A = this chain, B = another copy of it.
Amino acid sequence: MKMERRDFLSKAAIASAATLFSTNSLLSATYPAKEKLGIALVGLGYYSTDLLAPALQLTEKAYLAGIVTGTPSKAETWKKKYNLPEKNIYNYQNFDQIANNPDIDVVYVVLPPSMHREFVVRAAKAGKHVFCEKPMAPSVADCEAMIKACKDNKVKLAIGYRCQHDPNIQAYMQVAKEQKFGKVKMVTSAAGYFDGRTNHWKQNKALGGGVMGDMGVYALQGARLATGEEPISVIAQASTTRPEIYKEVEETMMFLLEFPSGARASCQTSFGINMNYLQVNYEKGWLKMEPQSGYNGNKGSMSDGTLINFTIKSQQAKQMDEDCMAIMVGTDLIAPGEEGLRDIRVVEAIYKSVKTGQLVKI
């Protein structure tokens, strides 16, 4: 990843050309020339209901073609609301039959993290491209298995990193790439919100809960994307101010990262604190974002007076459109499985540091 804007623009240009000649050979031979790819959402919780399904009403290259849910009442509601054909509605048992459904081009896994591996692998085996929500999985081993399954079955795997499709985030990635203010020296990256729930999967270890995977990857991505580097060591500290709720997983994680260039980052994430900002200090200037990873309104400023304040109608719509375009045209995904794995590699090191109380090399 770490796509340059000019790369992005040229890919968009290719994609537009592909759309003009929608029967041409640029389109994958596996798929008939479709105007839009059919997406099946797996798991109909808050994110599917309130973010992805509405976004799929705005997409130009994707549409809501089907659903996979373990709750029959949800199936009924969604069927009516989105006018879905009965044949495109699956449960977790008959899900594998999706292989025979030409309406479904992409399976979007929006389940708790512990279930990602199973459903990504099953989707890949069914010959469907896969979108998978973040965090990619609870372990590096899971991520590697998911990447391998998609490779083996010749399908694409995109991680739902909506922010990397947000031009406001791409702007600060570009600043690092161009070294506009010289080398990055220090990053502070914080992402958290007060979660009042007491019995959600986010508080459940077996389901892949804990703030590190959920909000922590935003704090981590702030540091990774602002430096354009992968961390080589981490020291981390987990804590909880509500032990009656956070029995199994951490409410707050703080971690210090070291990067190959010598850049350092301090990251904070919490289910108990409303915070969302990024500060980057370079050799010759600074950049700030606040919010840095919101669903909308991400914006920032730089020491030379440059403002970052792009407006987009929907991050999730842009993400799905761009990922579908990459599938249709056969170009690189902005955030493929390997990008999700990069984060989980650091997340594993963070938990190891918490366990040992020591710095962990990555």
Contacts and interface: CB of A to CB of B under 8 A. Distances in A.
Interface of A: 185-186, 188, 190, 192, 194, 235, 237, 239, 241, 252, 254, 256, 258, 262, 264, 266, 268, 270, 272-275, 277, 279, 281, 283, 286, 357-359
A109 to B, nearest CB: 32
Contacts of A235: 235, 237, 357
Contacts of A277: 279
A254 B256 contact: yes
A273 B185 CA distance: 6
B273 A281 contact: yes
B272 A185 contact: yes
A357 B281 CA distance: 26
Given A186-B190, A268-B188, A270-B185, A241 B262 contact: yes
25 contacts: A185-B275, A186-B192, A186-B270, A186-B275, A188-B266, A190-B281, A194-B283, A235-B237, A235-B357, A237-B256, A237-B359, A239-B262, A239-B264, A252-B264, A254-B256, A254-B266, A256-B256, A266-B266, A266-B268, A273-B281, A275-B286, A279-B279, A357-B358, A357-B359, A358-B358
Contacts of A186: 190, 192, 252, 268, 270, 273, 275
Contact of A188 (B190, B237, B241, B264): B190
Contacts of A254: 256, 264, 266
A172 to B, nearest CB: 16
A28 B337 CA distance: 74
Contacts of A283: 194
Contacts of A190: 186, 188, 279, 281
A128 to B, nearest CB: 41
